[in-house]
Chains A and B, each alone.
Chain A
Amino acid sequence: MKTPSGWERLRAWFLLPAWIWMAVLFTAPFAIVIVYSLLTRGAYGGLGLPWTLENYQRLLDPLYLGIVLRSFAMAAATTVICLLLGFPLALFIARAGGRKNIYLQLVILPFWTSFLVRLYAWLFLLRDTGLINTALQGLGLIHDPLPLLYNDGAVLLGLVYGYLPFMVLPVYATLERLDPALVEAAADLGAKPWPTVLHVILPLSAPGIRAGSILVFIPALGAYLTPDLLGGGRTVLIGNLVQNQFTNARDWPFGAAISVGLMALVGVLVLLMLRREREGLV
């Protein structure tokens, strides 16, 4: 065993900046939030003793439990719609031959443009004086503008629009690796194209669908900006509840408890995914 060279000793320091940054600006802040979640709300919205678990008990209040369930339902609906839109699209790209890369880039490109801009685009289309209502009124089809914005439907639309690439990319990746011989075998055995997709391709792309579903579900569950802009305060999801506790309600301990709960949910989902991945690899 040779002694470590100067370079090897220097290389040991390579991880240090990332270590420090993650410790000070990711782990420590969350540790503070955990501590806050166990404190009591003081007068004027400050923090005070005694230590308590009351903030977590409040999460079981039907009012807040309802918001949690709504967020779950919204995230689940987003995931299902993304799958319905994304799976055929991924299949199309995987079979596109030489133009594969262009089609793939067309999925990724909106993802690179500002999230805020993409939400504003829908605001521009859906609002009372927006393009859709103006056009319909111009055509004389409607008299009063349709209430397209500031409801659950608009929020769902925004979430699907924002997170669709997260579904398409992993599904495409598994379809790409799929052995074409399996599809050919199905065809040789007399399977028609649609049953082949349903009974051969769909089950084989399960790992990609699982990864895509989790990648869509997690940000949809913690979404804040989409329900804020397209829901206009009427569609309150977990993310808005957290934000509200830290601003208007000035109840930091409760906001912290919701955050810890949300992170626990996200952590469980990620662990589930990693476990399935490992099973898939063995």
Chain B
Amino acid sequence: MKRWLGLYAAAVYLFLHLPLVILAVFSFNSSRFTVWQGFSLHWYRAIFQDQQLGESAWNSVIIAVAATILSTIAGTLCAYGLWKRGSTILSGSLYLSLVTPEIVMGISLLALFQWSFRWLHWRLGLHTVILAHVAFSIAYVVIVIAARLRTFSPALEEAALDLGATEWQAFRFVTLPALLPGIVAAALLALTVSFDDYVITSMVAGVDSETLPMVIYAMARRGASPVINAISALIVVVFGTLVLISERVRES
């Protein structure tokens, strides 16, 4: 049975990884068509010459970084606060935000922004996208840090207090360092979900705030292009590396 299980698992792993590997391999194809014609970096050069891609990637970076900073701060404080004193309503709404279908979250945020335009003089843009991204990534941050806090003993904080530390010092020099790997992992998760999001972003983005996933989506809709293969390969490599680094941080 062991052998069968191993073969089955190998097949499932192939199913999970082969499509991405093939996608990456064909990003180095010199032909525009899906027939291998020889190795070329042509499509990677094409990425850097494409102005729309550059602008949208820059937008995505600004949004992801801003949303990550905000949601990591809010989420870390929230997880610590909930650890000290739970709140069913707050954790309930955080969990609910995790299971809300993206399209529902997208249209409800659009409805809110449209409604706010009656009173506020602002438009859809980078700022609305950032607000939306923080809204759906706080829950991820809270969950990752809450998991870390479950393995953290309150006795450690109490010991620091007994040894004469103030409560602020106990938090700053005992709890926070213990949480740091969790905070890094949570920030990375927030960065990934923000950088990757298409559905919610496309609903609340303005004309001047197109993100990379929006451009990729539009290109994929128009038809195959090895340029998308090349961007995809870059995204997979960059985020794969980030994840491996964060795993290292978490283990240490």
Contact = CB atoms under 8 A, between A and B. Distances in A.
Contacts of A12: 81
Nearest to A225: B199
Given A117-B20, A259-B107, A129 B224 contact: yes
Interface string B36-55: 00000000000000000000
B100 A122 contact: no
Contacts, number: 234
Mostly helix, strand, loop or mixed at chain B's interface? helix
B249 interface: no
B81 A15 contact: yes
A25 interface: yes
A47 to B, nearest CB: 10
A26 B102 contact: no
Contacts of A118: 19-20
Given A92-B6, A262-B101, A14 B216 contact: no
Contact of A116 (B77, B104, B171, B217): B217
A114 interface: yes
Given A91-B5, A105-B247, A255-B107, A25 B112 contact: yes
A116 B198 contact: yes
Interface in A56-105: 85-86, 88-89, 91-93, 95, 103, 105
* Residue among B19, B20, B100, B131 with the highest chain A CB neighbour number at 10 A: B19
B111 A256 contact: yes
A44 interface: no
A106 B16 contact: yes
* Residue among B15, B35, B107, B109 with the highest chain A CB neighbour number at 10 A: B107
Nearest to A269: B99
B129 to A, nearest CB: 12
Contacts of B100: 26, 222, 263, 266
A80 B56 CA distance: 38
A131 interface: yes
A219 interface: yes
A225 B101 CA distance: 11
B78 interface: yes
B125 to A, nearest CB: 16
Interface in B1-20: 1-2, 5-6, 8-9, 12-13, 15-17, 19-20
* Residue among A85, A138, A267 with the highest chain B CB neighbour number at 10 A: A85
Given A117-B20, A134-B35, A224-B102, A25 B132 contact: yes
* Residue among A113, A122, A218 with the highest chain B CB neighbour number at 10 A: A113
Contacts of B196: 114-116
A88 B103 contact: no
A242 B199 CA distance: 12
Contacts of A28: 112
Mostly helix, strand, loop or mixed at chain A's interface? helix
Contact of B34 (A106, A130, A193): A130
Given A85-B15, A113-B20, A17 B166 contact: no
A89 B23 CA distance: 24
B110 to A, nearest CB: 7
Interface string A191-234: 00110010000000000000000000011011111000100000
Interface residues of B, number: 80
B236 A117 contact: yes
A19 interface: yes
A144 interface: no
Interface string B120-131: 000000000001
A9 B198 CA distance: 40
B24 to A, nearest CB: 9
Nearest to B73: A17
Nearest to B189: A112
B90 A110 contact: no
B181 interface: no
B101 A239 contact: yes
A267 to B, nearest CB: 7
Nearest to A192: B1
Contacts of A130: 34, 224
Given A18-B138, A134-B33, A239 B94 contact: no
A25 B82 contact: no
Contact of A22 (B80, B138, B168, B235): B138
B59 interface: no
Interface in A229-282: 229, 239, 242-243, 246, 252, 255-256, 259, 262-263, 266-267, 270
B176 interface: no
Contacts of A33: 104, 107-108, 111
Interface in A1-52: 5, 7-8, 11-12, 14-15, 17-19, 21-22, 25-30, 32-33, 36
17 contacts: A11-B81, A15-B82, A25-B109, A30-B108, A85-B12, A85-B15, A89-B8, A113-B236, A117-B216, A123-B224, A129-B33, A129-B34, A134-B34, A138-B35, A256-B107, A259-B104, A259-B108
